[in-house]
Structure 1
Amino acid sequence: MNMLPNPIQLVQTSEFNINVETDHIILHGNVDESAGVMLRGSVVLHCHETTKVRSIMLKFVGKAKVNWTEGLGSHQRHYKDEKTIIKHEWSFLPPHRKTYHLPEGRYKWDFELPLPGDLPETVDHDLGQVYYRLKAVVERPTFLMNYTDKKVLRVSRVLLPSSLELTQSLVISNTWVDKISYDISVTSKVFSMGSLIPITFALVPIAPDLQVRSVSCVLKEYTTLTAEDHSKMEGKVIKHLRDEHFPTTGPDAWTKTELLPVPDYTSHLVQTDSYCDLIKIKHKLKFIVSLMNADGHISELRAAVPIIIADISPEEDENALPTYEDAWKSVPYDPAQIAALVERGDLPPSIAISAPNEAAVAASQALVSSSDTDDDNDHSANSSLTNLNSTTAWEGIDLSRVPSYTTAIRSNRLYSFSGSLPGYESLVVVPGNRAS
């Protein structure tokens, strides 16, 4: 039997990736306080052979969507809406009537984008979503497969330690006439995913022979969806705790602290508090104290307080800040390249300098240089490599001045001293501009 040749070659001869500093974007402060954050990364194309390319583009988009149905049968109505929160596009190799020829090599294009501080947090609900995504595309000539890569980013918000919500505990105090006096307290208004919420009950009986039958604590999530000027609220119990062994001995206050766990992010059982035009998420703690009277009659004491569920607590965020000498750890977004340089001995672990990719710059400039030569049907991008330069790590730095913490983390120079500064005899030649 004769086999027909496949006219389309499906073997990808290049590697194409999006690298970012972090795929978890953390905004500090509420929507009125946050100054935003800088999204930084790079698009890397590794050509194993000369590759024909028409264009290279990168798109960043943030969207909110809702989709739900109400009613039954002929009265059923469908609600759906979508809104673009943020959008940006980069053109690393602009579309052109001629085809780029990229010689074998590794090409890297850096990008950055300031993100506003009022972005809504990521939401992944059954009836609505808020999501952020990067998508890069290498457009190939006709009949050749395009290269694509996608990266989903998660946006979270952490309140500032100075926020009023973080300095106040929540206390519910009241007296049920002729029955019981009570204090229900929670240590804070903000709790992170995966944490424990301590809830302290202090009950003082007034009626004789009163007993606590049970104490219940409930974490409830409220989701409000909006589409076509129509809103829908949905409540869901996230966590429930019931204690039937509450101490009720003696005439003094009966006190006990219950620990209510908040599910972690990986469980997908809880969302963080979020505010968006199409979808809003809030949380409440609800308490039920079931009392047994002397005659056997059951009475219930009910109360509720609003709380905030955050992806990261302010304490965790504060502890996560790098030390001064480790500030460089927040800078690199191409760890594979750094690791390869260190492994080859081109880059010592104690100090490194990030350099732009000359091949990618040359590819971007190829269009400009080709505008004066219309005789050729296509143009190629130069991906020549340069040798190690002789510039030392300290050249161009004023050694009499110590950079600030902010300057250190924004610098393109990467520092890691492992507890001590390198000696002058340990200065080494570092790589200059080249594609690795």
Structure 2
Amino acid sequence: MGFDEFTVVIEPHQPVYFSEQVVQGYVKITAEEPVSCRAIYLTAKGTGKVSWSEKRGKSRVTYSAYEEYFRESHTIWSGADMDEEFPVGEHKFPFAFQIPKDIPSSFETYIGRVRYQVKAVADRPWHFDDSSKAIFSVNHLLDLSSDSIARLPINSEREKSIRCCCCWWGPISLTLGVERRGYVAGENILINGEIVNNSGSTIKYTEAKIVQNIRYITSSKTKTTSLTVQRVYRPQIETGSTDEWSGVSLPVPAVTASHLMHCNIIEVDYDLIFEAKLGTCRTAKIAENIIIGSVPLPGTIVAPDTSVESGGTVLASTMSQENSPRFVRSRQPAQGEHGDNPPSYSRIVMPEQYANIPPPSYESCVSSGGQWSTFDDDSDNEEVGFAPHYITYRRN
């Protein structure tokens, strides 16, 4: 016979933790009969992993990297004085540990991740070890005030001639204006722009989007991927016509802050792209770097809740269905899939130096991966589909 219950519980549970905060809880173990057991160990740790494979000739080559941010291990029960038998009954073994300073935010894709967890393992002779773990989200606070470019405006122009059937048509002109480059999740980027279509083709649609660029780093190779995490679009523009964008809202979704600071194997940055699409291979665009932080700039106004779905595709003005471009929405976690509904703001306990900022809530990451077939160490691949939580700011 084995344990009837063997569970790690984080309590009180916070959806988001920060550096130097304490994570506490207990391991709940229930046994209706004595269970042979040498000891029960508890380990809290934070790790970063990167792994992908590529085809090279007739074989495949795997590139990987690993780093550890902290590890704390304890023996919470020993069977040395009990004939290596865990006693009958319900037992709770409390734990508490402090998150260290200068560690990266939680992050998950199918190629790389930063993950924090508490795991308990029962060492059982002549049996498979029992184990349980609880994963929690950590946010490194990127204060936009610390970045010198966060307040800088974006004012950019681009003109591109279009080639069709070996002939060059007139140009498409784009103008983009944005108040600043620094934002936090929950704010709206207000897009002001103009598209002048002097080409000989109809522009199918125009869009403004936030693109997350991720660089995975190993000792022998790096890999870069890009993912659109939010977009708004406008209808087609006939040749010789102009379309003006005036204060169109592009919501910033729940994503990790720029840079993924204190992680040496994954880098993250964001671009704001303003683009006119004529076809699969014909585009004209402006791309500008933006900063997504976790502490807003002083004096900035956090956007109220809107009907815009975070991480989705949103029509920025009325248009007929037949002219709508086809996009796939980013998957949103179903209610209860990754825990309870967002709590009241008061449950997010920010560090004391940020007591004067608007109280944040949290949301699940809009772009989490969770397919970890390349990771098989420490049984971490048993937990798939975990979505980190990130603080976000919304007014009622």
For the criterion TM > 0.5, the same-fold answer is yes
The equivalent residue for 2:5 is 15
- Indicate which of 59, 67, 73 corresponds to 1:89: 73
How far the C-alpha of 1:185 sits from its partner, in A, is 0.9
* Alignment partners' CA distance in 1, 2:348 and 2:129: 43
In structure 1, what is the Cα distance between the partners aligned to 2:85 and 2:174? 81
- Candidates 44, 65, 74, aligned match of 2:28: 44
Mapping of residues 25-424 of structure 1, within 5 Å: 25-27=16-18, 35-70=19-54, 72-73=56-57, 77-94=61-78, 96=80, 99-100=83-84, 103-140=87-124, 142-143=125-126, 146-160=129-143, 163=146, 168=151, 170-172=153-155, 182=175, 184-186=177-179, 189-192=182-185, 195=186, 197-203=188-194, 215-244=206-235, 254-261=244-251, 273=258, 274-275=260-261, 276-288=263-275, 300=284, 302-308=286-292, 320-321=345-346
Secondary structure at the counterpart of residue 321 of structure 1: helix
CA deviation after TM superposition for structure 1 residue 281, in Å = 1.8
Q: Quote the Cα distance in structure 2 between the aligned partners of 1:158 and 1:261.
A: 20
- Deviation by residue 1:157-179 (Cα, 9 ceiling, x = unmatched): 34448655797364325698xx9
- Which structure dedicates a bigger proportion of its chain to helix? 1
Aligned 8 A contact 2:70 2:100 in 1? no
Q: Indicate the RMSD between aligned Cα atoms, in angstroms.
A: 4.6
Give the SS at the match of 1:120.
coil
Q: Residue 283 of structure 1 contacts residue 309 of structure 1 at CA under 8 Å; is this kept in 2? A: no
Aligned partners of 2:233 and 2:348: how far apart in 1? 43
User: Which residue in 1 is equivalent to 2:392?
Assistant: none
CA separation of 1:87/1:95 partners in 2, compared to 1, >3 Å: closer, same or farther? farther
TM-score (norm 1): 0.52
Give the letter aligned to residue 156 of structure 1: N
Aligned position for 1:433: none
In structure 2, what residue type is equivalent to 1:18?
V
CA distance in 1, matches of 2:47, 2:188: 32
Calculate percent identity across the aligned residue pairs: 17
Contact in 2 for aligned 1:57/1:91 (Cα 8 Å): yes
* Compared CA separation, residues 162 and 38, structure 1 to 2 (3 A): farther
Q: Aligned AA for 2:131?
A: T
Over 3 Å counting, the alpha-carbon distance change for 1:299 and 1:48 in structure 2 is closer
Tell me how far apart the structure 2 counterparts of residues 100 and 75 of structure 1 sit (CA, whole Å): 48
Alpha-carbon distance change, 99 to 169 in structure 1, aligned in 2, over 3 angstroms:
farther
After TM superposition, give the deviation of residue 216 of structure 1 in Å: 2.2
* Amino acid paired to 1:283: Y
How far off is 1:224 after superposition? 0.9
In structure 2, the CA distance between the partners of 1:82 and 1:145, relative to structure 1 (3 Å rule), is closer
Cα gap change, 1:48 to 1:166, in 2 (>3 Å): farther
Report the Cα distance in structure 1 between the residues aligned to 2:256 and 2:45, rounded to whole angstroms: 21
> How far is the alpha carbon of 1:155 from its aligned partner?
2.0
Q: 1:182: Cα distance to partner?
A: 4.5
Q: TM-score, normalised by structure 2?
A: 0.57
Task: Name the counterpart of 1:348.
Answer: none
In structure 2, the CA distance between the partners of 1:217 and 1:108, relative to structure 1 (3 Å rule), is same
What is the number of equivalent residue pairs in this alignment? Answer: 287
In the alignment, the residues of structure 2 paired with residue 137 and residue 213 of structure 1 have an alpha-carbon distance, to the nearest angstrom, of 57
Cα-to-partner distance string for 1:106-131 (whole Å, 9 max, x where unaligned) = 32222211112321122221222222
Aligned partners of 1:146, 1:323: CA distance in 2, in Å?
A: 36
Name the CA distance, whole Å, in 1 between partners of 2:128 and 2:244: 72
Larger radius of gyration: 1
Structure 2 residue matching 1:24: 3-state secondary structure: coil
Distance in 2 between residues matched to 1:214 and 1:145, nearest whole Å: 58
Q: Secondary structure at the match of 1:99?
A: coil
Which amino acid letter does the alignment assign opposite residue 189 of structure 1? G
* Equivalent position SS for 1:242: strand
Q: Which runs of 5+ in 2 are unaligned?
A: 160-171, 304-341, 350-396
Superimposed CA distance per residue, residues 354-399 of structure 1 (whole angstroms, 9 cap, x where no aligned partner):
xxxxxxxxxxxxxxxxxxxxxxxxxxxxxxxxxxxxxxxxxxxxxx
**Higher mean C-alpha deviation, range 254-263 or range 80-89:** 254-263
Rounded to whole Å, the distance in 1 between the matches of 2:206 and 2:69 is 43
Question: How many Å apart are 1:257 and its aligned residue?
Answer: 2.4
